[in-house]
Amino acid sequence: MSELLNRPEVLAPAGDMERLKAALLYGADAVYLAAQQFGMRTAPSNFSMEQLAEGVALAHSQGVKVYLTCNTTPRNHEADGLADFLRQVAAAGVDALIVADPGVMMTAKKVVPDMELHASTQVGVTNYLAAQSLYEQGVKRVVLARELSLEEIAEIRRNTPADLELEAFVHGAMCMSVSGRCLLSQYMAGRDANRGACAQPCRWSYRMEEERRPGEFYTIAQDEYGSYILNANDMCLIEHLDKLWKAGITSFKIEGRAKSAYYTAVVTNAYRCATDVLLADPDNYVLPDHIRDEVLKVSHRHYDTGFYFGMPHQHVWDNSYVREWDVVAVVQGWEDGKLLLSQRNRFWSGDELEALVPRQGCVKVPVSALWDENGNLTDCANRAVMDCSIPFAKALPIGTMLRRKVD
């Protein structure tokens, strides 16, 4: 471990400007995001070209890299606009393109030859021959298929050039299809997952019908709500970052561009702190409990470790999320012994909140009094995005999120 020279990168998702700012505040080394074309997520608002230039400038001012997903499989009618799109992206200053389609890769090499290329997980790199082939085509980094074990990753590392970077997912939702290449959504809902519009039919409940008994439906498992036979657990590798780094992974990728800014903040902060623990003593990585607990404070399905340690228990038998905490306010400043807040969810005088301090742990924040935007005492912050304030002895960084445990 001590001989590894590459510092591991914490790579966070940014579905829009709010999520980008959360990732920056809470310790990302790099972010990945999409413009409003050619990206594999259409649910988040993504970035206009003007917003992209603004976001890149903001990230670069803090020493953070920006990778742009250009990883759909374009159709013929989109091909004519691709070259101009890539030129605009390059002009915005992004650091790398994440690509999956050979035509996109070829076009990028022609029209933006200085742009760094990363091979998307959609390529499905599962062996060192594929990684070597991409490297010879000018790819700087491969995002490995999620179906690989640690032993397979280590073998890829041993058999590829040292300057080929390896990126892998360490946290977030998993797909039941190989490297996310799925036709189920298009078939059942008319929404093409390979073009960023997945309807997630793998999360739906299914029942079985015997063809000679039409209209009589049976659960596949003994569950009154049906059976979610395709529904994958979420991935969480925060306790195993040393093993991933030792296997040769130098970019720890967090899934979740379509998730909330709160999710981005909490999970980025947890992996930032965990990576700092790893770097402090690489040969004796022990994750403190308070960092491990953080990943339980976002909405999530049951966690497992994916394929890294062999075949996973891949599916959960319901579609529910574990959700025990809500963000209730965001710090806007501090003045005269009061935290100035912008409300996000209702909270009350007398509540005990937690402040998620960027790149640190949690701080208890009791709401011993609560003032509205006019300086009047009130029992409840109950209007969306209302300005309010509470007593607190010291300033917290602007953008710090306050949360409360859900009843």
Q: pLDDT tens across 255-312, in order?
A: 999 899 999 999 999 999 999 999 999 999 999 999 999 999 998 888 889 889 987 6
In the predicted model, is pLDDT for residue 377 greater than 90? yes
Cα separation, 362 vs 313, in Å, equals 32
Average pLDDT, the chain: 88
* 14 and 84 belong to one structural domain: yes
Mean pLDDT of 372-381: 96
Decide if 274 contacts 238 (C-beta within 8 A).
yes
* 379 and 288 belong to one structural domain: no
Kindly report which listed range (35-44, 135-144, 376-385) carries the lowest average pLDDT score: 35-44
* 29 and 65 belong to one structural domain: yes
- Name 160's Cβ contacts closer than 8 Å, sequence gap at least 6: 128, 131, 132, 135
* 94 and 189 belong to one structural domain: no
- Output the pLDDT for position 41: 66
Question: Is residue 316 a part of any domain in this protein?
Answer: no
What number of other Cβ atoms are within 10 A of residue 105's Cβ? 20
Question: Is residue 315 a part of any domain in this protein?
Answer: no
E strands of 133-262, at which residues? 141-143, 165-173, 207-209, 217-219, 234-236, 251-254
Question: Is residue 252 a part of any domain in this protein?
Answer: yes
pTM of the model: 0.86
Domain total of the chain: 3
197 vs 354 pLDDT, higher one: 354
352 vs 230 pLDDT, higher one: 352
Question: Is residue 398 a part of any domain in this protein?
Answer: yes
Question: Is residue 97 a part of any domain in this protein?
Answer: yes
CATH assignment of the domain containing 284: 3.20.20.70
CATH assignment of the domain containing 352: 2.40.30.10
Question: Is residue 52 a part of any domain in this protein?
Answer: yes
- Output the pLDDT for position 322: 75
* 333 and 399 belong to one structural domain: yes
* 50 and 168 belong to one structural domain: yes
Phi, psi of 118, deg, nearest 5: -120, 130
* 254 and 213 belong to one structural domain: no
* 48 and 139 belong to one structural domain: yes
Kindly report which listed range (24-33, 75-84, 305-314) carries the lowest average pLDDT score: 305-314
Residue range of the domain that includes 211: 180-219
Mean pLDDT of 166-194: 73
**What DSSP character marks residue 240?**
G
The domain boundary, picked from 252, 269, 304, lies at 304
In the predicted model, is pLDDT for residue 192 greater than 80? no
* 210 and 254 belong to one structural domain: no
- Helix H or strand E segment including 331: strand 325-335
The domain boundary, picked from 271, 304, 337, lies at 304
Query: Quick one: which of 10, 36, 12 has its CA closest to 259?
Result: 12
- Name 274's Cβ contacts closer than 8 Å, sequence gap at least 6: 238, 241, 287, 291
With pLDDT > 70 as the criterion, what percentage of the chain qualifies? Answer: 84
Decide if 344 contacts 402 (C-beta within 8 A).
no
* 55 and 189 belong to one structural domain: no
The domain boundary, picked from 304, 333, 352, lies at 304
* 209 and 241 belong to one structural domain: no
- Output the pLDDT for position 188: 67
Question: Is residue 287 a part of any domain in this protein?
Answer: yes
DSSP result, 339-406: EEEEESS-EETT-EEEEE-TTS-EEEEE-S--EETTS-B-SEE-STT-EEEEE-SS---TT-EEEEE-
Look at the chain and count its residues: 407
3-class state of residue 4 by DSSP: coil
Question: Is residue 226 a part of any domain in this protein?
Answer: no
Residue 3's pLDDT band, with cuts at 50, 70 and 90, is: very low
In the predicted model, is pLDDT for residue 317 greater than 70? no
3-class state of residue 104 by DSSP: helix
* 143 and 269 belong to one structural domain: yes
